[in-house]
A and B are shown apart, each in its own frame.
Chain A
Amino acid sequence: DQQVKQNSPSLSVQEGRISILNCDYTNSMFDYFLWYKKYPAEGPTFLISISSIKDKNEDGRFTVFLNKSAKHLSLHIVPSQPGDSAVYFCAASGSSGTYKYIFGTGTRLKVLA
């Protein structure tokens, strides 16, 4: 049972354009969501998070949008840069217990120069 889904395994975007990565979840108990970036042979690096009390959070070139009714979140990267090329994972957590993360399967972003 995949509670967090990233349905696009890969995405290619031209440098300077917007990258939009999508994530869907099924568990309505999730209330904290994060995006991580991962390079090969390295651990995930935290990018940005959003609590369920918000619908948008911005940090520089990165913006995360949360649509609770649709159980959908997205990560926007503007403008995209070649250094953004990596695998992006979304993760979700509930508000009690261990706060363990449930991850999606990742989207490989390639930013073309």
Chain B
Amino acid sequence: DTGVSQNPRHKITKRGQNVTFRCDPISEHNRLYWYRQTLGQGPEFLTYFQNEAQLEKSRLLSDRFSAERPKGSFSTLEIQRTEQGDSAMYLCASRTGGNQETQYFGPGTRLLVL
């Protein structure tokens, strides 16, 4: 059973650069979430996909952030013109359809913006 995978696991970038993260959900899961976790906080919701449709975006997701799930399988999260405040762990989670199905998380991508 393959879990949620995320790449890269770590990314160090300079302020102003663009970065892109990838998430591969569990294969039969059609619902996909992105969260962000900063030090001392719990994960915070960023955005949600049902198949390829992006159905909700948090106000945390500024215009510099964009997420896609083009074929309803893997997803990418891009941050343009990174800022030091973007430094965080970016987590992806997936689940099946249904009302109260558990989300399963990937290992996360840790971003450090210098």
Contact = CB atoms under 8 A, between A and B. Distances in A.
Interface residues of B, number: 29
Interface string A22-46: 0000000001101010000111111
A43 B43 CA distance: 10
Interface residues of A, number: 27
A43 B108 contact: yes
Contacts of B55: 98
Interface in B90-114: 91, 93, 95, 99-108, 110
Contacts of B31: 99
B45 interface: yes
A34 B102 contact: yes
A99 B107 contact: no
A58 B31 CA distance: 27
A100 B42 contact: no
A95 B103 contact: no
Nearest to A93: B100
B48 A89 contact: no
B35 to A, nearest CB: 8
Interface of A: 4, 31-32, 34, 36, 41-46, 49, 51, 89, 91, 93, 95, 97-106
Query: 10 closest Cβ contacts across the A-B interface?
Result: A103-B42, A43-B105, A98-B48, A100-B45, A32-B100, A43-B107, A44-B105, A98-B56, A43-B108, A103-B43
